[in-house]
Amino acid sequence: MAESLRFDGKVVLVTGAGNGLGKAYALAFAERGASVVVNDLGGSPSGDGRGSKPADDVVKEITLKGGKAVANYDSVENGDKVVQTALDAFGRIDVVVNNAGILRDKTFARLSDEDWDIVQKVHMKGSFLISRAAWPHMRKQGYGRIIMISSTSGIYGNFGQANYSAAKLGLAGLSKTLSLEGVKYGIHSNCVAPTAASRLTETVFSNELMHALKPEYVAPVIVYLCHDSCKETGGLFEVGGGWAAKLRWQRTEGVVLRDQNGRFTAENVRDNWDRVTDFAKYTTPSTNHEANSLIIELANKLELEEKEAKAASDSSDPVALAKTFKGKPLEFKYTERDAIIYALGVGVSTQQEGHLKLLFELSGEFEVLPTFGVIPAFACIHESTLNGIPGFEIDPTKILHGEQYLELYTPLPPSGKLTSKFQIADIIDKQSGAVILYNVETFDENNTKVAFNQFSTFVVGAGNFGGPKTSKEAIPVVDAPSRAPDAV
């Protein structure tokens, strides 16, 4: 059997430890050898009144079992006094569990200043004052564990608890910051949102649920997070009924909404809102640096592109200006039905041998024709160039599709979502018109490149601009073999 988690020689302070969750935490630490400071003001769930009995009863229960404990009856607003009790009784402070809390539930329209302030003072400011008082002692000894008791009401919000929700989510931010500042001093800070039976929930939960959600089904997580062997810090956890889970922030991949000329409008936001809120692709930043680095990197890239575009526009070279233009990425969703319709459109027939793998989605060998890779790429350039490109006014009625190059890096899936991005590789002056070369890269949902296309588009009447007659960017056309195809 694995070695049990002991707290011999450690001093643990638990606020709001006279009842419910706080009491369960205090008893759990004491059973494992810790010296415990049982803090409780002895008031009602709404914060009214005070008394010594709740804290005294818990201390008595601990000492009768051979444990060590002292009571403290101060409000957590007197953080220095609460921590001093630990120092006077046991000479040190190792663990702080900020559990004290009250409720003043009212709908937002009925919430008074007093209702707001007292909840913030107990939950948010009280946790700050207790932790600040313990901080220098933890720094000096090179060791400390701090727990902020949050709530699912803070994480997810809850009707009638605007004051409580704000305070409880604030504790998650406080804990995260303390974890960053404490790391070099051996101080860990974590935040836990328990769901448990307590004085604050007895009017909400049934008797059966009160038993299923006993505080004792939360305490072991608090104990482990505060043990020497636990390396976790900066975490946010949900715990209840013997279940525990870690939470993290998740951010959509996002989309750049400003163009190369610096234009960023509410209409751009509206037209791209589905992409802004699409969690099909996401990141999970865990630090402020991780969260901001992407934005800073993109901002610098956009600034550079804007400078390049301005420099090109200031010059007399329309090709240089056009080549600075990058089309908007376009998402293309398709199903087996789309792949089948495409196959029929290019001539696949039910009379052909092996047609089922191209025309019947339930075929065990169903596949997508490789040339289907042209479709999402074509949609991308059509979407982005319909209104023209810098330096070139394009009349859609004068466009002819020339050579087409397609390269596949992997077989296309039977259905899925692809994203294509294009850039103008070059523009060739053919006197009677201009040939625009588009390079299009297509990626799957894992951001893996699956295809590359080069479109050669002839624009009638757009020539004679003094541009190059040939381009090294053009991928040469390969003659089709004279022999019969290997497969059709």
Query: Picking from 249-263, 345-359, 442-456, which range would have the lowest pLDDT averaged per residue?
Result: 249-263
**pLDDT tens digits, one per residue of 94-116:** 999 999 998 898 999 999 999 99
Residues paired with 326 in a beta bridge: 423
* pLDDT cut 90: percent of the chain above it: 55
Q: What is the mean pLDDT of residues 57-69?
A: 97
- Domain at 250-314: CATH code: 1.10.287.4290
pLDDT of 307 strictly over 80? no
Q: What is the DSSP string of 297-352?
A: HHHHHHHHHHHHHHHHHHSS-HHHHHHT-BPPPEEEEE-HHHHHHHHHHTT--TTS
Query: Where exactly are the structural domains of the chain?
Result: 11-247, 250-314, 319-488
Between 300 and 376, the higher pLDDT residue: 376
| List of E strands, 76-127 | 95-98
Q: In whole angstroms, give the CA distance from residue 438 to residue 381.
A: 8
The separation between CA 238 and the C-alpha centre of its own chain, rounded to angstroms, equals 17
314 confidence band (pLDDT: 50, 70, 90) = low
Return the pLDDT at 66.
Answer: 96
pLDDT of 395 strictly over 80? no
**pLDDT tens digits, one per residue of 100-158:** 998 898 999 999 999 999 999 999 999 999 999 999 999 999 999 999 999 999 999 99
Q: What is the mean pLDDT of residues 246-258?
A: 89
- Domain at 11-247: CATH code: 3.40.50.720
- Sheet strand arrangement including 330-334: 330-334, 416-429, 433-443, 449-460, 399-408
Measuring CA to CA, which residue among 193, 219, 195 is closest to residue 30? 219
∠ at Cα 340 (339, 343), nearest 5°?
90
Query: Picking from 40-49, 247-256, 313-322, 449-458, which range would have the lowest pLDDT averaged per residue?
Result: 313-322
Could you say which of 3.30.590.10, 3.10.129.10, 3.40.50.300, 1.10.10.10 is the CATH number of the domain covering 319-488? 3.10.129.10
Return the pLDDT at 251.
Answer: 92
Q: What is the pTM of this model?
A: 0.69
Tell me which of 25, 143, 156, 164 is the catalytic residue. 164
∠ at Cα 468 (463, 472), nearest 5°?
125
pLDDT of 270 strictly over 60? yes
Q: In whole angstroms, give the CA distance from residue 124 to residue 169.
A: 9
Between 312 and 487, the higher pLDDT residue: 487
Active site residue 143: no
pLDDT of 382 strictly over 80? no
305 confidence band (pLDDT: 50, 70, 90) = low
Return the pLDDT at 311.
Answer: 55
Which amino acid makes up residue 276? V
pLDDT of 391 strictly over 70? no
Between 303 and 61, the higher pLDDT residue: 61
pLDDT of 316 strictly over 60? no
Q: What is the mean pLDDT of residues 159-183?
A: 96
Return the pLDDT at 471.
Answer: 86
Crossing angle for the helix pair 79-90 and 126-141, to the nearest 10 degrees? 40
User: What is the residue whose two structure tokens read 């494992």?
Assistant: 32
* pLDDT cut 70: percent of the chain above it: 90
Calculate the average pLDDT of the chain. 88
**pLDDT tens digits, one per residue of 66-79:** 999 999 999 999 99
pLDDT of 218 strictly over 80? yes
**pLDDT tens digits, one per residue of 406-465:** 999 999 999 999 999 888 888 888 888 888 888 999 999 888 999 999 988 888 887 887
Distances (CA, A) of 59 to 37, 68, 88: 8, 8, 16
Return the pLDDT at 257.
Answer: 82
